[in-house]
Amino acid sequence: MALVVMKFGGTSVGDAERMRTVADYIGRTVRRGNQVVVAVSAMGKETDDLLHLATQVSVSRPGREMDMLITAGERKAMALLCMALHDAGVPSESFTGSQAGIITDTDHTRAKILDVRGDRLREALAQGKVPVVGGAQGVSTGRDVTFLGRGGTDTTAVALARALDADSCEIYTDVSGVFTADPRIVPEARRLKRLNFEEMLEMCTAGCPKPAMRSVEFARNHHVRLHVRSAFTWEPGTWIEEEDPELEQAMISAVTSDSSEAKVTVAGVPDHPGVAARLFRALADHSINVDMIEQNVSLQGTTDISFTVPHEDLATAEEVSSSLMGAIEATEVLADPDIATVSIIGAGMKTHPGISATMFETLAAEGINIEMISTSSIRLTCVVRADVVDKAVVALHRAFNLENE
């Protein structure tokens, strides 16, 4: 008998029929002798709808009331799921985050979990019931209802798995796992059986949309194995767990791309101390989140500094950089929205030489120019023109033979 925490996302419980299908699946799992605890998201686009409603009603949108409003979405879903479970003959009980004993800090709209008491969940389990917990919520040390932020139900699930010492934490979603590339770009992309936490985190930063990065970090920090899988086909998905030192690590596990950033180049600045410091302090003072940075010293004693920022920060980053042109003696500031990044990720990269050479040769063979390069010990990222990024993903997937296990 295993204790399993199951998280169901918004599309998994998007309508009445989905609710009944999920309840049926939970029932089958319980009848096979397992104990199940559920964390459920708001149905479909409900969270977006509630947020939109709030913007129509209020300009100030106080955090306390926003959290009370948004968590209503999960509350509705948990009650409906328990009704469906009842009809499927599965005893269950719904719990708000507060009732489940999820204690958070007081940072409304993005609260952090401080403790999970879980007494009532243990009682329900002991009575043979399936506890269904409203996701992404808790009660603050100030006794107010709090929301954990977008994607917070994944975090709820991981926190419950840790507190209840569950055997696994299953993240049910509308994709059947984590793939070697986005299957919409690479039809031959293959579902990965396993990945380690570091690889998954690098994939999250390099453009992989699911699962939520914060929950992967939380799972890594608390040693909770994740199983990302489909709530539509119910087939086994991808395990995300600690690196097994006994197992040989895949050289390259996946190719990802990201079109959410833009590039700024500050050209012709003198090559002396303090230039980069002034520029990046000014950007930081405007809360601009800089990602990649590249600087080259030319033989003439001047340098160009390029950096990438999220698209929504491009205008501000350009303004800030332009306003410093005199102070840092730059000759030009160029803003370029038409870039994208392509990345290869793999834990085996650490011990295999020649991976970067193969990546660059592959892009060269496609006639794709590399504009910036950044690396970590298990990731290589190139900035390319946005209109060729899909071609780059396809070519790299093939070059590293990712369609074959």
Q: Name the minimum Å distance from CB 50 to ligand ASP.
A: 9
What residues make contact with Mg ion under the rule CB under 5 A?
A: 10, 41
Other Cβ atoms within 10 Å of 233 Cβ, number: 9
Q: Name the minimum Å distance from CB 177 to ligand ASP.
A: 18
CB-wise, 47 or 92, nearer to ligand ASP?
A: 47
Q: Among the candidate windows 150-158, 203-211, 252-260, 308-316, which touches ligand ASP by CB under 6 A?
A: 150-158
Interface with ligand ASP (CB under 6 A), residue from 47, 71, 176, 303: 47
CB-wise, 82 or 328, nearer to ligand ASP?
A: 82
Q: Among the candidate windows 14-22, 145-153, 273-281, 321-329, which touches ligand ASP by CB under 6 A?
A: 145-153
Nearest alpha carbon to residue 190 among 400, 47, 390, 40: 400
37 binds, among Mg ion, ligand ASP, none (CB under 5 to 8 A by kind): none
Question: Distance (Å, rounded) from C-alpha 125 to C-alpha 121?
Answer: 6
Per 3-state DSSP, the chain is made up of helix, strand and coil in percentages (nearest 5) of 35, 25, 40
Interface with ligand ASP (CB under 6 A), residue from 4, 26, 42, 372: 42
Shortest-Cβ-distance residue relative to Mg ion: 10
**Contact predicate 111/74, CB 8 Å:** no
Token duo for residue 287:
């809360």
Half-sphere exposure of 16 (CA within 13 A, CB side): 1
Interface with ligand ASP (CB under 6 A), residue from 92, 153, 249, 302: 153
Token duo for residue 200:
């998954």
DSSP letter string, 289-325: ----EEEEE-TTSEEEEEEEEEGGGHHHHHHHHHHTT
Interface with ligand ASP (CB under 6 A), residue from 76, 150, 190, 385: 150
According to the binding rule CB under 6 A, does residue 394 interact with ligand ASP?
Answer: no
* Cα–Cα distance list, 39 to 115, 169, 234, 267, 393 (Å): 16, 10, 17, 51, 35
Q: Name the minimum Å distance from CB 312 to Mg ion.
A: 21
Diameter over CA atoms, the chain: 78
136 binds, among ligand ASP, Mg ion, none (CB under 5 to 8 A by kind): ligand ASP
**Contact predicate 176/192, CB 8 Å:** no
Q: Name the minimum Å distance from CB 114 to ligand ASP.
A: 19
CB-wise, 112 or 150, nearer to Mg ion?
A: 150
Interface with ligand ASP (CB under 6 A), residue from 151, 177, 211, 237: 151
Binding to ligand ASP (CB under 6 A) within 120-139 occurs at 135-136
Other Cβ atoms within 10 Å of 184 Cβ, number: 9
Applying CB under 6 A, which residues contact ligand ASP? 9-10, 41-42, 47, 73, 135-136, 150-154
